[in-house]
Amino acid sequence: GKPPYDPENIFARILRGEIPCKRVHEDGHALAFHDIAPQAPVHVLVIPKGEWCSAADFHAGAEAEEVAGFWRAVALVARQLGLEETGYRVLSNMGPDAGQEVGHFHVHIFGGRRLGRMVP
Residues 52-91, mask of contacts with ligand 5GP (x by CB under 6 A): ----------------------------------------
What is the number of other CB atoms lying within 10 angstroms of the CB of residue 32?
25
Report the half-sphere exposure of 91 (CA within 13 A, side-chain side): 17
Of residues 52, 62, 59, 66, the one with CA closest to residue 100: 52
| Tally of CB atoms within 10 A around 31 | 20
Burial 36-47 (b: 16+ CB within 10 A, else e): eeeebebbbbbb
List the catalytic residue out of 29, 104, 106, 108: 106
Region near ligand 5GP per CB under 6 A, out of 51-59, 76-84, 100-108, 110-118: 100-108
User: Which residue stretch of 27-35, 53-61, 62-70, 78-86 sits at the interface with ligand 5GP (rule: CB under 6 A)?
Assistant: 27-35
Is 96 an interacting residue with respect to ligand 5GP (CB under 6 A)? no
Residue closer to ligand 5GP by CB (options 22, 59) is 22
Distance in Å, CB of 11 to ligand 5GP, minimum: 8
Residues 6 or more apart whose CB falls under 8 angstroms from that of 115 comprise 40, 89
> Which residues are part of the catalytic machinery?
106
What does the binding site for ligand 5GP look like in residue numbers (CB under 6 A)?
A: 10, 19, 21, 33-37, 45, 93, 99-102
